[in-house]
Amino acid sequence: MTRSLALFLCSVTLIAGCSRNPERTAATAPTPVASAPEPGSLLGPSSVAPGGISGKYDISLPGRDQSYDFRNQLETKYLTGLLRSASPTFVDREGEVVWTQEYIRYRLNGCDHATATQRVLSQVAGQAAGAVCGTAADGLIAFPPRSDAFDFRRQLESTYQGFARGASSSAVDAEGGVIWTQEYLRYRVNSCDHTTAVSKVFSQIDGGGVAATCYVPPCIYQLSTSTQASTAAGGTFTVTATRTSGDCNYTAESLDNFVTISSGASGTDTGTITYSVGRNFGGARTGRIRVRWASTSAILEINQEAGTSVAFTMTDPAAGSGTTTTCSIRTTTTLCRLDISSGVFSSSAVFNWHVEFPYGNGKGSHDFTSSGLSFTFTNSCGGSDGTASGNTKTLSVTLTVTDGTSITTVQSSSGGQPELFIRFFTC
């Protein structure tokens, strides 16, 4: 086996090995100029991404073969479209486009002009590619000033001239080569395909002005406020969701049962979300509405002040007008009265009472629903549970108040309510 054949097989093996690693889109940096490459060798074994660093690229630059194709089309454009004559240059068109792309790669990944230039020129001299300097920006990718790119091109020309290789010729002057290559790359990293990017650059060359890139910003909505305040009484409120970019719809949902969305639960462009906050019968609380769009969301917080807690008392009318914890059943039509003693309610509030006590081998109970603040129930003396001295049993009372979207429950012997009793006598 000859020495050249062995070298060829080693090269094939290296290329195949690198292509199996999905985290490395290119195996090598561009071949340094010092080795006097043949045409095409700077493009490297992979045409899907620029080489020079390990791992994924923060900015998705086009394959070098596509950038080189653009540069060849640019040459034809200058020759046949602009009728420019060729002039000498030490940087051939392939070196110009590859190293310009390397310079742009460093710039878009956080390096300043001096650092990017130094690292590219080190690669040209045969050194390994340097690391990028930071994290690439999200969204529309901004490019460095054209003056920076042109200064890099002038330094690249001087570096090539120092390698004592003959000059080539190009109809594209140095400034045009680097500026239009940068424009091509700007369109590419901002979502334009190869054909579209070439067309947009050539339109600029023909005087058509700078065309918009192909980047479509992600859909974003902005809420008119992130927090709203509510009194304990609650009420009806609105918040506006305005689409600031992209094209998608939004949906809104309440994350708390005392907040109810009445309209505007979905929409597009700009929408008004109307929601109701129920009356508060306890401490200060926070409700939330989540507005979703595309793959993200925003939260509206509703901060409601503390309300007046609900409480009730019991009266035994036969014993007097004062409150008591025991209602004595001495007649066949003894009344026991329950009254709501605190709490602020709307006119639509509904009160549900449930009264229960042991009786005989089972239990006695009373249920009542009203819009009033009092509940009176009747029991009879005598029966198996009545005694001359009175038979005392625990009286369990549960009050549930529903006022709009708010519901609160109060029970005897709980939450500050006293324990209640019912006492049965013989008639």
Beta strands in 49-157 (DSSP E): 87-89
CB 259 within 8 A of CB 276: yes
3-state SS, residue 172: coil
Residue 207, phi-psi category: left (phi > 0), alpha (psi -120 to 50), beta (remainder): left
Q: Give the pLDDT of residue 42.
A: 43
3-state SS, residue 220: strand
Residue 419, phi-psi category: left (phi > 0), alpha (psi -120 to 50), beta (remainder): beta
Residue 28, phi-psi category: left (phi > 0), alpha (psi -120 to 50), beta (remainder): beta
Q: Give the pLDDT of residue 59.
A: 67
Dump the DSSP string for 275-288.
EEEPPP-SS-EEEE
Nearest alpha carbon to residue 117 among 125, 107, 126, 109: 107
Nearest alpha carbon to residue 64 among 105, 34, 124: 105
Q: Give the pLDDT of residue 240.
A: 97
Block mean pLDDT (10 aa), the chain, length 427: 37 32 30 35 34 43 92 96 94 93 91 95 90 77 93 95 88 95 94 95 95 87 96 95 90 94 93 95 94 89 94 96 96 96 91 94 92 94 91 97 90 95 96
Note the maximum CA span of the chain: 129
Q: If you classify domain 311-424 with CATH, what class do you get?
A: mainly beta
CA distance 394 to 392: 7
Q: How far apart are the first and last CA of the chain?
A: 125
Delimiting residues of CATH 2.60.40.10 domain(s) in the chain: 220-304
Q: If you classify domain 220-304 with CATH, what class do you get?
A: mainly beta
Q: Give the pLDDT of residue 134.
A: 79
List, in order, residues 6 or more apart from 201 with CB less than 8 Å away. Answer: 70, 74, 180, 183, 184, 187
